[in-house]
Amino acid sequence: MADLDTPLMTIGPDAARAALSFELLVPALRLAFASGVTVPSRHHHHIPQPDGTQAVLLLMPAWQEGNYLGVKIATIYSGNGKRGLPGVYSTYLLCDAASGRPLALIHGDQITERRTVAVSALAASFLARPDARSLLIVGAGRIAALACDAFKAVRAIERVAIWARDFEKAEALASQLRAGGHDAAAASSLQDAVAAADIISCATLSTEPLIRGEWLMPGTHLDLVGSFTPAMRETDDACMARSRVYIDSHEAMTESGDLAMPIASGALDATVIVGTLADLASGSVGGRASAEEITVFKAVGTALADIAAAALVYRSAVGRTGELR
């Protein structure tokens, strides 16, 4: 670790982004999920807003003994879209776990965005068919814009479709991806796009089901990013009932409407959830078992992924290797 007299390092968005290439981040996450990190329950503090909504102050701590300790501080303001502002801001404080001394204050938005899609890609490395070539991105926001590069780090994606409620936003993202060398097109029919996709990644703020279980074809892998409260969901009950379900952490069962609602209705028995991403990375549970089965990965975000990404950024800044250990 750094000498005690070393000042706190501040790492901005450009440096954080450069350090978090998916070719480096996905393997770093796999190591972190396999090796284990202490992750206490996250802290939610609700702040009433003048428009009747509630903002959220979210604190996500994690540590690995003798290595790093950190906490992500995030603010979630659902009304920010009307102000032309992002709905989420975050900052990461990384410390020396042996002494508690702060090491770096890192731009957390880059950590949040890139580790989110990298976690999805890591899950897909276990759950998507090895021959998966087509990707459907549902949503056209900042997370959706990163999904193509993330999944390409683990599968040979050749075709990308984008669907969003606002077709113009879907076309704008498709154009952006084409400019980056991807074969991408906006989809007008979500049902048709679902039927044609090997991997479906949903990154929306929907409170109503978008993906219907009856649309899913055998062999599909469905990645769910967007629903992070019990009132939000991107799928109907049938999606869960038809699939082998995996989660990023046990909090997903209560924090996401995609799981909490079908569990409450009886469509999904919580005991049949196959395992967590840590289980997959450590090999304690198996991934996809056949070419025909439908798999689902539901993530709500875990501080384990945050600290692994923060460690990668810090080690890059000080010229060390990118592993958490």
Strand partners, 94: 70, 104
Q: Are 110 and 316 in contact (CB under 8 A)?
A: no
pLDDT in tens, 94-146: 999 999 999 999 999 999 999 999 999 999 999 999 999 999 999 998 899 99
Which CATH number applies to 117-302? 3.40.50.720
Angle of helix 167-179 relative to helix 142-152, nearest 10 degrees, comes to: 40
Question: How far is the C-alpha of 54 from the C-alpha of 255, rounded, in Å?
Answer: 16
The residue-averaged pLDDT of 261-270 equals: 87
Kindly indicate the confidence band of residue 321, based on its pLDDT and cuts at 50, 70 and 90: low
| pLDDT given for residue 1 in this prediction | 46
| pLDDT given for residue 257 in this prediction | 87
Residue 20: pLDDT over 60: yes
| pLDDT given for residue 284 in this prediction | 93
Could you give the 3-state DSSP secondary structure of residue 41? coil
pLDDT in tens, 173-221: 999 999 999 999 999 999 999 999 999 999 998 889 999 999 999 999 9
| Range with lowest mean pLDDT among 15-29, 54-68, 153-167 | 54-68
Kindly indicate the confidence band of residue 247, based on its pLDDT and cuts at 50, 70 and 90: very high
The residue-averaged pLDDT of 269-273 equals: 84
| pLDDT given for residue 173 in this prediction | 96
Residue 7: pLDDT over 90: no
Question: How far is the C-alpha of 305 from the C-alpha of 324, rounded, in Å?
Answer: 10
Tokens 């000498």, residue? 3
The pairing of strands 159-163 and 184-186 is parallel
Q: What top-level class would CATH report for the domain 9-111+304-317?
A: alpha beta
Question: Structural domain boundaries of the chain?
Answer: 9-111+304-317, 117-302
Residues in the chain, overall count: 325
Domain 9-111+304-317 shares a fold with domain 117-302: no
| pLDDT given for residue 69 in this prediction | 96
Could you give the 3-state DSSP secondary structure of residue 150? helix
pTM of the model: 0.89
Question: Residue 317: how many CB atoms within 10 A of its CB?
Answer: 18
Fill in the DSSP letter of residue 181: T
Strand partners, 161: 136, 185
Kindly indicate the confidence band of residue 277, based on its pLDDT and cuts at 50, 70 and 90: very high
Residue 319: pLDDT over 70: yes
Fill in the DSSP letter of residue 104: E
Residues 6+ apart with CB under 8 A from 172: 140
